[in-house]
Structure 1
């Protein structure tokens, strides 16, 4: 329930005390024929998981599926979980991803709307280069942003980090683990 009786819907939903995990069999897609149907089934699973703020989806191989099914499920779910502005950098052209255009939107915190961009928010960023002085990040902004490397010595090239973006579109700092968990899960 919300504190304001006139407000029925709250987004993002309140933080969950415990993380929710689900397990799905890779055979979920083995009964479907055609890449579009297989992709759509996984899209619906991922959308439901996003709505209920599932923290982790584990895929297991059961007797009715092949190793190929397991790989397919993993690729599609990882693709959907990634922010749209980083997908070209994270995924190469792949036959398994040819039907991803039909996937439903997740409406998660990493899939920012124009409203989100108008206020301070947290978003994932990809570390493109790291040296002793700078960490250069791709965060889907107008340009690549470089931060002082002394603020995050643990970041390596290719790491996905979370950053705090100001309303004017600049990165102010790296987000803390607590900040990320309160928004994303």
Structure 2
């Protein structure tokens, strides 16, 4: 499918072809979300659903890391809830009972949409396993010179490395005619998009930015420059950058308001302050909606 978009300031021409197994991004991409993201919702059911929307958006656009920052004192517990549900979403279904115990926090996780990322859509039987496949697993038993790992098949398998019980690992499978041999690998070795990580250290916005150490920080705000005005400059900055971080405000406060309370100038911590939804029809745009719109544009910038 050929797509062309024209305006006075932006011209986009790209060829779109579907990828059955999407590769990970060549440059790490993270989003920073406020701990108060679900604070305005009265019921755990709605909080869970909103977290699921965030997880789906992150997966669709191959976000590598979700950073949660404390935007307001008293919302730390909301941040914990958000972090836990986002981690639950990212965990392959076959590992969830191993990793998560019964908790009131997960009462409504049945409402969460499946991510269907490559780490979730692996074969469920030995017959479907191919040599060189990657899978996530959980260590269920350790020995002096090895560990027993559950990788969601009929039985656990031994890896020749002593690991911590309960640890989640990624393994590469060497399949022979008679057996499977597993080796523990880092996520960096997997070429496909393998999901996001969640980072919540109870830090404020500024310290969270420093922790990620991005060389390109993009702040979103309805008071920012219209995306049509800065599109080409942002595109060039993305091409030259190595790590990208996108900042989002809360349901009740934008980034300008949050920074003002903490006596920080937003322009001092972000390279771009951009309105990715100019001429919005609604009085306010929700964080999850802004995230979807912004990442759609960033995704296009990667490929033109």
| TM superposition score normalised by structure 2 | 0.52
CA offset digits 1:149-178 (Å, max 9, x no partner): 3xx35x222221112244989642225334
Aligned length: 176
Q: What corresponds to 1:180 in structure 2?
A: 190
Q: Which has the higher contact order (CA 8 A, sep 6+)?
A: 2
Q: What corresponds to 2:232 in structure 1?
A: none
1:157 equivalent in alignment to 2:170 = no
Q: 1:176 to 1:18 in 2, by over 3 A?
A: same
**Shift in Å, 1:180:** 2.3
CA offset digits 1:104-124 (Å, max 9, x no partner): 111112212559945442111
CA contact 2:34–2:71 (8 Å) conserved in 1: yes
The farther-off stretch of 48-57 and 109-118 is 109-118
- Map residues 121-132 of structure 1 onto 2, 5 A cutoff: 121-132=133-144
- Map residues 18-167 of structure 1 onto 2, 5 A cutoff: 18-63=27-72, 66-114=75-123, 117=128, 119-120=130-131, 121-147=133-159, 149=160, 152-153=161-162, 155-165=163-173, 166=175
The farther-off stretch of 173-182 and 102-111 is 173-182
CA contact 2:35–2:79 (8 Å) conserved in 1: yes
**RMSD after superposition:** 2.7
Structure with bigger gyration radius:
2
**Shift in Å, 1:90:** 0.8
Tell me, in whole angstroms, the C-alpha distance in 2 between the residues paired with 1:16 and 1:169.
36
Gaps (5+ residues) in structure 1?
2-6
| TM superposition score normalised by structure 1 | 0.82
Tell me, in whole angstroms, the C-alpha distance in 1 between the residues paired with 2:102 and 2:91.
15
- Indicate the SS of the match to 1:9: coil
The farther-off stretch of 111-120 and 48-57 is 111-120
CA offset digits 1:16-49 (Å, max 9, x no partner): 2211111111211011121111101110000010
CA contact 2:55–2:115 (8 Å) conserved in 1: yes
CA contact 2:35–2:82 (8 Å) conserved in 1: yes
CA contact 2:118–2:192 (8 Å) conserved in 1: no
Runs of 4+ in 1 over 6 A off after TM superposition: none
CA contact 1:122–1:163 (8 Å) conserved in 2: yes
**Shift in Å, 1:96:** 1.1
**Shift in Å, 1:179:** 2.5
